[in-house]
Chain A
């Protein structure tokens, strides 16, 4: 089959691989009808996350049609249209039973590697390094889906793929980021980073009852998209973010702050330069510019929610502000399985059409070029989806 494979830093190729097959009783194999490149795939493109191997098939946002089923998969039928969560969860371990699906204890055959790094192993994900299990991803013609009886979300006939594809990752990720804030009437929510997750966080905050949402970025096209979603845009190149947030909240600060930037924030000023140098000489893995700003800005008693990905150590972390203002910090990979049905219903009810975020549509075999452009042209390339040729 045709698949999108990692060959090395900035070297993605569209090549031929063997076809997937059923390996375990609860598996399904799906024929992919639509996939996407995620902003977090650019961490792989730029080799920022270790443990990729030449030939690994990328892609964790995908959907398709069931073409083959394992003997114990009673939940699906051949021909079902399904969206697949980016992380793989067994449904039976103590974490899955508590709806903490992205912490699944059983899906990751290499969980011991992350156990060494973080104290406990994490769930596997599709196409996202061997730390996450080394499962072949969905930027391909076919994918094997483990535990498909738990993970796959059935989509009613007649719904366009583009409206439901993002239930696999970025819509639930933005939604959980907002849900983690425990939004109350009158709340102001500030969102750092207007990439796709930030865009969904903006819209989710409104869906969950926020009074006002402020979106922070420095790419005009992304700020315009957030504004179209109802947010007040702040360009951090042009304004002092702390002052502006105080001004927009009568001096209180935002009740909830979302860091949808993660470990590759473009900080300016002294701390930004400090992070860049430390990261370049590998003393600091992540550059927490947005996170520091969010903590500083957050109202007393408020919550900082972190959907942005961090992998390692950060410096100059303002823990004093967390303590002084009694902030709550919420973080983690999204429990996609927990949110999918609820969010599908919002789509079916016409409350949101997630396809607004798509900026480019290409063929699967054009993936290498799409990666390059997505990486290099962040103004125009907001979200790219890929169809099989």
Chain B
């Protein structure tokens, strides 16, 4: 469920290597976390179990260009270099949102985390952790995603996208990820027969 990190006693940003929720603080141009206090932020934690080995899931996710294959809000992701990537997402009314992100943590087959830069349309940070599930149950995928709803018209656009319940939206993308990994396709009814109105 979404939590406002400002309401927690825990520090928003922890620098430990294993920390998979890097918080919502934007980075400056050099990639350092800014010290400015957060004005607010929404954090979502969702998990799902996928019947595939962790290395397979990790490898798919590690190439961020794959993410638009299941995340229906992403238009495309371009990988600039080993750390930096450029993301474009669909907003309401064909409005495109874009941001640059940098890889924060990369532990093969276990953990990937990223965070956006200061000048982003959508300041966000996230991580995905892959953990072997008991016996033959595959892999537990734990996703953390945090974002700062920006002020102004753009902020209200993002609020519109996420109005449904941000945790719902994140969980929906995890379901689609599971479908793609387990079945090679994403279940859909888009394009099925519709009434021909006379």
| Interface set of A (CB-CB < 8 Å, partner B) | 1, 3, 5, 15-21, 23-26, 54-55, 57, 72, 88, 90, 92-94, 97, 105-109, 111-112, 124, 133-136, 140, 142, 144, 146-147
Q: With A24-B185, A90-B183 in contact, do A97 and B51 touch (Cβ < 8 Å)?
A: yes
- Chain A residues contacting B188 (CB-CB under 8 Å) are 23-24, 109
Partner of A5, one of B172, B183, B195: B195
Q: Would A134 and B195 count as touching, CB distance under 8 A? A: no
Q: Which segment, of B11-19, B32-40, B174-182, faces chain A?
A: B174-182
Q: Would B192 and A136 count as touching, CB distance under 8 A? A: yes
Question: Chain B: which residue is nearest A150 at the CB level?
Answer: B183
Question: Chain B: which residue is nearest A54 at the CB level?
Answer: B195
- B83: CB under 8 A from chain A? no
- Chain B residues contacting A112 (CB-CB under 8 Å) are 168, 171-172, 175
Shortest Cβ gap from B191 to chain A (Å): 5
Question: How extensive is the interface on chain B, given as a class?
Answer: 20 to 34
- B92: CB under 8 A from chain A? no
- B196: CB under 8 A from chain A? yes
Q: With A97-B51, A112-B171, A112-B175 in contact, do A26 and B185 touch (Cβ < 8 Å)?
A: yes
- B150: CB under 8 A from chain A? no
Q: Would B182 and A106 count as touching, CB distance under 8 A? A: yes
Shortest Cβ gap from A143 to chain B (Å): 9
Q: Would A23 and B190 count as touching, CB distance under 8 A? A: yes
- Chain B residues contacting A140 (CB-CB under 8 Å) are 193
The 27 listed contacts between A and B (C-beta, < 8 Å) are: A3-B193, A17-B193, A17-B195, A17-B196, A21-B191, A23-B188, A23-B189, A24-B186, A26-B183, A26-B184, A55-B195, A72-B185, A90-B182, A92-B182, A94-B137, A94-B138, A105-B178, A106-B175, A106-B179, A106-B187, A107-B187, A112-B168, A112-B172, A112-B175, A135-B192, A136-B189, A140-B193
Contact mask for chain B residues 9-32; partner A; CB cutoff 8 A; 1 contact, 0 none: 000000000000000000000000
Partner of A19, one of B187, B193, B195: B193
Q: Would B187 and A133 count as touching, CB distance under 8 A? A: yes
- B47: CB under 8 A from chain A? no
Question: Chain B: which residue is nearest A24 at the CB level?
Answer: B185
- Chain A residues contacting B179 (CB-CB under 8 Å) are 90, 106
- Chain B residues contacting A93 (CB-CB under 8 Å) are 51, 178, 182
Shortest Cβ gap from B169 to chain A (Å): 10
- Chain A residues contacting B194 (CB-CB under 8 Å) are 17-18, 55
Shortest Cβ gap from B167 to chain A (Å): 10
* Apart from A23-B189, A90-B182, A94-B49: 19 A-B pairs, beta carbons within 8 A: A5-B195, A16-B195, A18-B193, A20-B193, A24-B186, A25-B184, A54-B195, A88-B187, A90-B183, A90-B187, A94-B137, A105-B178, A106-B182, A107-B187, A108-B187, A109-B189, A133-B187, A135-B192, A142-B193
Q: With A111-B175, A112-B168 in contact, do A1 and B183 touch (Cβ < 8 Å)?
A: no
Shortest Cβ gap from A16 to chain B (Å): 5
Partner of A133, one of B171, B186, B189: B189
- Chain A residues contacting B175 (CB-CB under 8 Å) are 106, 111-112
Shortest Cβ gap from A202 to chain B (Å): 36
Bound complex: CA of A319 vs CA of B10, how far in Å? Answer: 45
Which of B49, B179, B191, B193 has the most chain A CB atoms inside 10 A of its CB? B193
Partner of A57, one of B138, B191, B193: B193
Q: Would B137 and A92 count as touching, CB distance under 8 A? A: no
- Chain B residues contacting A134 (CB-CB under 8 Å) are 189
- Which residues of chain B (139-198) have a CB below 8 Å from chain A? 168, 171-172, 175, 178-179, 182-196, 198
Bound complex: CA of A88 vs CA of B188, how far in Å? Answer: 12
Question: Chain B: which residue is nearest A23 at the CB level?
Answer: B191
Bound complex: CA of A105 vs CA of B172, how far in Å? Answer: 12
Contact mask for chain B residues 110-141; partner A; CB cutoff 8 A; 1 contact, 0 none: 00000000000000000000000000011000
Shortest Cβ gap from B28 to chain A (Å): 38
Q: With A92-B51, A94-B51 in contact, do A15 and B195 touch (Cβ < 8 Å)?
A: yes
Question: Chain B: which residue is nearest A88 at the CB level?
Answer: B187
Question: Chain B: which residue is nearest A20 at the CB level?
Answer: B193
Q: With A92-B182, A111-B175, A112-B172 in contact, do A146 and B195 touch (Cβ < 8 Å)?
A: no
Q: Would A106 and B183 count as touching, CB distance under 8 A? A: yes
Q: Would B193 and A92 count as touching, CB distance under 8 A? A: no
- Chain B residues contacting A3 (CB-CB under 8 Å) are 193
Q: Would A20 and B51 count as touching, CB distance under 8 A? A: no
Q: Would B183 and A23 count as touching, CB distance under 8 A? A: no
- Chain A residues contacting B172 (CB-CB under 8 Å) are 112
Q: Would B192 and A23 count as touching, CB distance under 8 A? A: yes
Shortest Cβ gap from A214 to chain B (Å): 42
- Chain A residues contacting B49 (CB-CB under 8 Å) are 94
Q: With A90-B182, A106-B183 in contact, do A18 and B196 touch (Cβ < 8 Å)?
A: yes
Shortest Cβ gap from B51 to chain A (Å): 6
- Chain A residues contacting B195 (CB-CB under 8 Å) are 5, 15-17, 54-55
- Chain A residues contacting B193 (CB-CB under 8 Å) are 1, 3, 17-20, 57, 136, 140, 142, 144
- Chain B residues contacting A72 (CB-CB under 8 Å) are 184-185
